[in-house]
Chains A and B, each alone.
Chain A
Amino acid sequence: MMTLGELAYWELTSLRVAGGLAAVLLVAGTLVYIHLFKLVSFMQSRLGPMEAGPYGSLQLLAEVGKFLQKEDIFPRKADRFVFAAAPFVVLMSTFLLVVVVPGGPDAWFVDNDLGIYLAMAVSSVSVIGVLMAGWGSANKYSLMGGLRATGQLIAYELPLMLAVVGVVIEAGTMNMQGIVLAQANGSIFGWSGLGNPFLLTQFVGFFVFMIAMQAELTQSPFDMPIAESELVTGYMTEYSGMRFLMFFIGEFATAGVFSAVAAVLFLGGWYVPGLDATSNVFNVIGPLVMLGKVVFLSFLVFWFRFTFPRFREDQLQRLAWKFLIPIALVNIVATGILKVAF
């Protein structure tokens, strides 16, 4: 029997690319259907799409087909190459993010020592794509949207990373697989009934991470970069057809992948308490457990999105610099002291 270890490098790479595409696109599609089509509809007392497929479940395919048929329009004064390349930069950052997320004890794309640090680094590249889109469109609204997005993404990257530091101190590793195992085999002050899900011991970090994640995804109440009533969807104004679809997929795929990262960091990833973390069962149910946790965390994101009105630009910056970053720093100091003391 052939094992994965005997495959050539290019075969492994092809498998990883296929797996990564599936992990990003299927999750993104699930989130769009469950949350954007159905959840928001029920919150607004309507049914949502019902015609295409049972309960409108094939609506997404219809939407994709619609976008693919549309003309790919370039504004006359646009910088053609920068304008065309921008959606690819944004999507590339999302697809690179997923490689560090593990789905089971042996079900991973890359078991890298740097793990979460690598994820934070590639996620910061998407800002360049947003700026390229904003500038390349040759449109004042787009440029304003790009600049707003950049100011926001830079401001909220800091609390996001500082929230992760607490988890890394407690787990003693940046490896995502190691973080899952640290939660599975850990104990809370000697009590190991649940392991040590960092949701319980790093609740401050979880709070900061989820807020910063909401802002990184530019979902309401942090949607100033694409504020439709002020900027006509900001840096995406001039995009149509396939390229708009790429931004759209990027938005929901990034929501899914960031939720997966948060699930690994705070909810124990593929592990469920009560089972042996090394058992082969997790290679089968692990991806499903991850999917469940991703759907739950992204539910929180979309619940907030559909509930709160938009912040003002100065309120946004004040929240990041004067509230989230200080408590994240205090959290790091407290975690460090407790780690050494116990």
Chain B
Amino acid sequence: MSAVFAAVSTDAPIFVAQNVFFAVVALLMVGSALKVVTTSNVVHAALWLVLVLAGAAAQFILLGSEFVAVTQVLVYIGAVVVLFLFGVMLTRASMGDDESVAGEKRSMAAVVAGLLLAVMSVALIDSFSDDRVVIDQPQLVTTVADSIFSQYIVPFEAISVLLLAALIGAIVVARRD
């Protein structure tokens, strides 16, 4: 959103309470994320993922982006994780640990995750370095709506068409006849 990126400056005030809560939530998220990849019970992994995604929603609220936070809860926790759980329970609902989950792919996955972390950290620090987000008040829904339907109308429509195509594709793949 333009409103978010415009509201970045190097001399904005620092809110201590906000930073403390950021740290608390971030630690919870990292801990839960580690449990997602280390637990050998698939259902537990999906439930830990709920905590990670809820933490992301909490971080959005700390940044004053309530609309994004609520969308995060609605889409990721209310729909994506539910579908994960639904699929896992429908196919392999075994209780207890599933040893086939912990395979030799883990070391490669760790390497990929480490590389991704490095690239994203460098990119974020490089582009924002000392900038601070200015949060005067929670971002209003009308602001989000105005920027989507004026400045970002073309990408928005493109994504809509892409989603529609994916939807039709899913139906075509799922049909037997």
Report which A residues bind B (CB closer than 8 A).
Answer: 77, 79, 82, 112-114, 117-118, 120-122, 124-125, 127-128, 131-132, 134-135, 138, 143, 146-147, 150-151, 154, 157, 174
Contact in complex: B93, A117 (CB < 8 Å): no
Q: Are B78 and A125 in contact (CB under 8 A)?
A: yes
Which residue of chain B has the shortest Cβ distance to A120 in the bound complex? B74
Partner of B82 from A118, A120, A131, A174 at Cβ < 8 Å: A131
Q: Is the C-beta of B155 less than 8 angstroms from some C-beta in chain A?
A: no
**Which chain B residues lie closer than 8 Å to A121 at the CB level?**
70-71, 73-74, 78
Instruction: Tell whether B162 is near chain A: CB-to-CB under 8 Å.
Output: no
Q: Is B79 in the interface zone, CB < 8 Å from A? A: yes
> Is there an interface contact between A125 and B73, defined as CB atoms closer than 8 Å?
yes
Cα–Cα, bound, A289→B74 (Å): 30
**Which residues on A sit within 8 Å (CB–CB) of B86?**
131, 147, 150-151, 154
Nearest-neighbour CB distance to chain A for B58, whole angstroms, equals 13
Whether A124 pairs with B77 at a CB distance below 8 angstroms is yes
Complex contact A113–B141 (CB within 8 A): yes
- Chain B residues whose CB sits within 8 angstroms of the CB of A82 once the complex forms: 43-44, 47
Interface of B (DSSP majority class) = helix
How far is B89's CA from A147's CA once the two chains are assembled, in angstroms? 8
Q: Which 8 A-B pairs have the closest CB atoms?
A: A124-B78, A121-B74, A121-B73, A121-B70, A131-B85, A127-B82, A138-B95, A150-B86
Is A117 touching B70 in the complex (CB atoms < 8 A)? yes
B104 to chain A, nearest CB (A): 27
- Measured between beta carbons, the chain A residues less than 8 angstroms from B66 are 112-114
A135 contacts B141, C-beta separation under 8 Å: no
Identify which of B67, B83, B85, B89 contacts A114 (C-beta below 8 A).
Answer: B67
Question: Does B140 make an interface contact (CB < 8 A)?
Answer: yes
10 contacts between A and B (CB under 8 A): A82-B43, A120-B74, A124-B79, A128-B50, A128-B81, A135-B43, A135-B93, A138-B95, A143-B93, A154-B83
**Chain B interface, number of residues (Cβ within 8 angstroms):** 25
Q: Which residues of B contact A77 (CB under 8 A)?
A: 95
| Shortest distance between the CB of A147 and any CB in chain B (Å) | 6
Additional pairs, 15, CB under 8 Å, beyond known A121-B74, A128-B81, A150-B82: A77-B95, A114-B66, A117-B70, A118-B70, A120-B74, A121-B71, A128-B82, A128-B85, A131-B82, A132-B47, A135-B85, A147-B89, A147-B90, A154-B79, A154-B86
Q: Is the CB of A114 within 8 A of B141?
A: yes
* Given A113-B138, A154-B82, CB of A128 within 8 Å of CB of B70: no
**CB of A128 to closest CB in B, whole Å:** 6
Partner of B89, one of A124, A146, A157: A146
CA distance A114 to B66 in the complex (A): 8
Q: Which residue of B is nearest A140, CB measured?
A: B93
Chain B residues contacting A174 (CB-CB under 8 Å) are: 141
Instruction: Assess the B89–A134 pair: CB atoms within 8 A.
Output: yes
CA distance A90 to B140 in the complex (A): 29
User: Closest Cβ of chain A: how far from B173's Cβ, in Å?
Assistant: 18
Minimum CB–CB distance from A322 to chain B (whole Å) comes to 14
When distances are taken between beta carbons in the complex, the residues of chain A under 8 Å from B81 are: 128
CA A329 to CA B44, docked complex, whole Å = 37
What CA separation (Å) do A67 and B82 show in the bound complex? 30
